[in-house]
């Protein structure tokens, strides 16, 4: 079973049980963003949460094995088109140089890791319209001289 078939199986089971990603994530004791990304095939899941997830959704061991495989991460665009994803790309374009200035001012020459990294989505209620709060947390990696 490859990652694409795995994702289909999980989404089918999730719909049948009418579960949200948040409920699944809570059910296995991990973060919602990470669990969703592993279910969409963009991260590998260690054995323990994979087993819990398959128990929760009554999925086979093949699904568990596919969740544990190391993925080849790829996406279908250089510039994304879906408006929700494009807005994130636009933020990188508009604020990329700014973040480089501000992060390197605080930390020195280096980068924020996208590997040793976590992310969270929260809802901020607001009478003028609710707000999405994205929090990214990545290890700072300084450049090395040798």
Q: How many chain residues touch a second copy (CB under 8 A)?
A: 87
Q: How many Å apart are CA 87 and CA 11, to the nearest integer?
A: 25
Interacting positions 61-120 with a second copy (CB under 8 A): 70, 72-75, 78-119
Q: How many Å apart are CA 104 and CA 16, to the nearest integer?
A: 48
Q: Which of 44, 51, 52, 56 binds a second copy (CB under 8 A)?
A: 44
87 is catalytic: yes
Spot the catalytic one: 90, 97, 101, 105.
90
Residue 93 in contact with residue 113, Cβ under 8 Å?
Answer: no
Q: Which of 1, 27, 40, 52 binds a second copy (CB under 8 A)?
A: 40
Report how far apart the first and last C-alpha atoms of the chain are (Å, whole number). Answer: 45
Q: How many Å apart are CA 13 and CA 56, to the nearest integer?
A: 10
Check binding of 46 to a second copy (CB under 8 A).
Answer: yes
Q: Which of 1, 51, 56, 121 binds a second copy (CB under 8 A)?
A: 121
5 is catalytic: no
Q: How many Å apart are CA 68 and CA 65, to the nearest integer?
A: 5
Q: Give catalytic residue positions.
A: 87, 90, 113
């Amino acid at each position: 079973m490859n990652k694409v078939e795995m994702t289909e199986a999980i989404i089918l089971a999730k719909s049948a049980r009418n579960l949200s990603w948040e409920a699944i994530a809570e059910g296995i004791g991990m973060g919602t963003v990470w669990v969703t990304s592993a279910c969409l095939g963009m991260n590998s899941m260690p054995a323990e949460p994979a087993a819990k997830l398959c128990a929760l959704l009554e999925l086979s061991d093949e699904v568990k094995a596919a969740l544990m495989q190391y993925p080849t991460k790829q996406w279908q665009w250089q510039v994304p088109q879906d408006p929700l994803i494009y807005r994130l790309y636009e933020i990188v374009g508009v604020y990329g140089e700014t973040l480089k200035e501000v992060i390197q001012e605080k930390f020195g020459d280096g980068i924020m890791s996208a590997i040793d990294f976590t992310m969270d989505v929260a809802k901020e209620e607001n009478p003028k319209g609710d707000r999405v709060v994205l929090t990214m947390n990545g290890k700072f990696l300084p450049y090395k001289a040798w």
